């Protein structure tokens, strides 16, 4: 029999666990499905390195994680899970959340992130898990990063992009807008096209895990090159 959840702190841990399970289920799905596609299209290895399968963009990645999240969530029988939903790409501002207990923190969030040069306007959160019938903090917020090509547009680089997401998550956590924050990264480009940058990303993620107390989930799309191992 599944252990009964005693309080909201336990619930938040359960929600984080569901997200982690959804992430791992997506990876399992990806690793089983994606080796078929380069072969069917007849791609040579160099072209396959730059091809994107299953997830064509970041929104696709969030959609995949979300669908597995709900599959796991619906198996939970406790009443505490019955009014929980996931929302994708929502602006965290007074227009959307004026009636929440943390509404007085939203301007602080915006100012902090502008001062950190993370953004110039109200922040948008990739994933929010929240009760539909409570006004308290979100149960969990997550930022999702999907590297599918070289991030050299507008002088951006992948480490800068990771840093921005982490600053956003830290601010949301510190201002108690969410009880838990998670960072998810799927590298579909650098690991096979730019090993030095891929190593730098991995070092950055390890530093975040060790110093920022933020759950970090990451993987590469190595399965798409499975047929080229020989």
Task: Give 39-75 pLDDT, tens digit per residue.
Answer: 899 999 999 999 999 999 999 999 999 999 999 999 9
- According to the model, what pLDDT value does residue 102 have? 96
Among 130, 60, 61, residue whose Cα is nearest residue 92: 130
pLDDT category at 101 given cuts 50, 70, 90 is very high
134 and 8 in contact (C-beta within 8 Å)? no
Q: Does residue 155 surpass a pLDDT of 50?
A: no
Q: What is the pTM of this model?
A: 0.92
pLDDT (tens digit per residue) in 197-221: 999 999 999 999 999 989 999 999 9
| CB contact at 8 A, 26 and 65 | yes
The pLDDT, as a whole number, for residue 230 is: 55
Average pLDDT on 136-165 reads 87
**154: alpha, beta or left? (left if phi > 0; alpha if psi -120 to 50):** left
């Amino acid at each position: 029999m599944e252990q009964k959840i005693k309080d909201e702190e336990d619930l938040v841990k359960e929600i984080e666990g569901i997200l982690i399970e959804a992430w791992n289920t997506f990876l399992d799905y990806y690793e089983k499905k994606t080796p078929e596609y380069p072969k069917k299209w007849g791609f040579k290895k160099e072209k396959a390195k730059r091809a994107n399968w299953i997830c064509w963009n970041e929104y696709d990645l969030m959609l995949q994680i979300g669908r597995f999240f709900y599959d796991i969530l619906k198996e939970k029988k406790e009443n505490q899970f019955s009014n929980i939903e996931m929302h994708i790409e929502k602006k965290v501002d007074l227009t959307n959340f004026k009636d929440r207990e943390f509404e007085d923190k939203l301007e602080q969030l915006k100012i902090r992130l502008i001062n950190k040069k993370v953004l110039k306007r109200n922040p948008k959160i990739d994933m929010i898990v929240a009760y539909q019938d409570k006004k308290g903090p979100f149960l969990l917020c997550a930022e999702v990063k999907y590297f599918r090509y070289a991030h050299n547009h507008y002088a951006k680089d992948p480490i800068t992009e990771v840093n921005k997401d982490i600053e956003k998550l830290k601010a949301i956590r510190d201002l108690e807008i969410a009880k838990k924050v998670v960072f998810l990264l799927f590298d579909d480009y650098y690991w096979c096209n730019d090993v030095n940058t891929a190593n730098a990303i991995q070092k950055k993620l390890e530093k975040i895990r060790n110093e920022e107390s933020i759950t970090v989930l990451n993987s590469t799309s190595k399965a798409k090159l499975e047929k080229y191992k020989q």
